[in-house]
Amino acid sequence: MIYNSLLSIVVPTYNRADFLDYCLEFHIPLAREYNIQIFISDNASTDNTREIVSKWMKEYPLLKYHQNASNVGPDRNFEIGLKLPDTEYIWLLGDTYQIPSNGIEYFLRLFPENNKYEVIICNVENRVLNIPSQRYKNPNKLLNDLGWHLTCLSSLIYSSRLVAQADFERYYNTSFIQTGIIFEYIAEKNFTIYWSDSISVMGINDTRLKKRGWTQEACVFDIACVAWSNFIFSLPCKYDLHVKLKCILDHGTKSNIFSFNNLLFLRSMNILNYKTYKQYSYIFPFTISYSKYIIVFISLLPRKTYNFLRFFWRFLKRNK
């Protein structure tokens, strides 16, 4: 079967066979319509991921599978996955997300007339608000408007030119390699990046599948506060300091990682407590929009008050 030379989809995965099964069941019919290759970059899963992919490879010849010999970490696995296709563009798609039914057609129509884009960015769960579709040619403006959003890999469609020249190694072990290679690449080059508010990738919504990502685990402050701040400050000096500071704060605020509701959830799981507050208090002012008094208050709440306060908070938001 001849594959489409314009676009491939790359799905990095690790021990999420159930989500991957759903992901392939959903996307193969969309990909088949346009002969789109789907590459699975398996980071040495120990569950039945290989069996799931083998099942779907029988259904779709353009499904390709690569398994690392050992777990190389998510950053390296993203790099490996992005280098598998030889198409002009590569959509890096998380295994817990789904492309809207018109998404592939929309971007295929965009590519032939505008094949100079280094990256194309789409929305995710409609979380980017009030930014109309546009072309970005200024790196500071891109970081200012969408830097926080580019952390979600499913929003990113890379050109093969960028992937071939990207400095992946510089962003190993940052947790944000998918974002870093973009801002590194465009810092000293003329570029055009297209933001589309017309297409929004959505999270898989199936009651049989339970997802709990790092935003609801003990590592959340290490990643979203420490690693994120270090990553943004490490970007080239081309980026203005005030833009970097805004981007750092936007991530926790606009992604809802540090929304009031999620802070209450983290308290209910004892991830946020007074001990963790003291540990990370030096960086909270840069990464969480709430005052230290509110964070301390939440950290000292009895954990069982979470459900009541969550209900009360939602009630207030509904009645604004």
Residues 167 and 311 in one domain: no
The strand ranges marked E within the chain are 7-13, 37-42, 63-67, 89-92, 97-98, 119-124, 134-136, 156-159, 193-203
Work out how many domains the chain is built from and give that number: 2
What are phi and psi for residue 138, nearest 5 degrees? -110, 120
- In a domain, residue 2? The reply is no
User: How many CB atoms within 10 Å of residue 198?
Assistant: 14
pLDDT of residue 216: 79
Residue range 122-145: mean pLDDT, rounded? 97
Lowest mean pLDDT among 114-128, 144-158, 305-319: 305-319
Could you tell me if 16 and 122 lie in one domain?
A: yes
Burial track 79-117 (b if 16+ CB lie within 10 A, e otherwise) = bbbbbbbebbbbbbbbbbbbbbeebbeebeebbeeeeeb
Handedness of CA 168, 77, 204, 314 (dihedral sign): negative
The reply to whether 208 falls in a domain is no
DSSP β-ladder status, 37-42 and 7-13: parallel
pLDDT at 224 over 90: yes
The residue that leads in pLDDT, 320 or 31, is: 31
Residue percentage of the chain with pLDDT more than 90: 85
Q: What counts of helices (H) and strands (E) characterise the chain?
A: 15, 9
- Residue 24 counted as domain residue: yes
Contact 178, 94 (CB under 8 A): no
pLDDT value at 307 more than 90: no
Q: Which of 276, 257, 259, 261 is nearest to 218 (CA)?
A: 276
My answer on whether 95 and 122 are in the same domain is: yes
CATH of the domain at 162: 3.90.550.10
Closest listed residue to residue 30, CA positions, set 54, 62, 78: 62
Domain boundary, last residue among 203, 237, 256: 203
| Torsion sign over Cα 95, 101, 102, 105 | positive
Cα radius of gyration (the chain) = 20
Averaged over 186-208, what is the pLDDT?
A: 92
Whether residues 111 and 197 share a domain: the answer is yes
Q: How confident is the model at residue 215, as a pLDDT?
A: 79
| Structural domain harbouring 291 | 217-318
One domain, residues 112 and 232: no
pLDDT of residue 315 exceeding 90: no
Domain identity same for 290 and 179: no
Domain boundary among 134, 168, 203: 203
Q: Do 172 and 36 fall into the same domain?
A: yes
191 and 231 inside one domain: no
Give me the helices (H) in 169-305, please. 177-186, 220-221, 228-233, 241-254, 260-268, 274-280, 284-287, 292-300
The reply to whether 199 and 221 lie within a common domain is no
- CB count within 10 Å of CB 173 equals 10
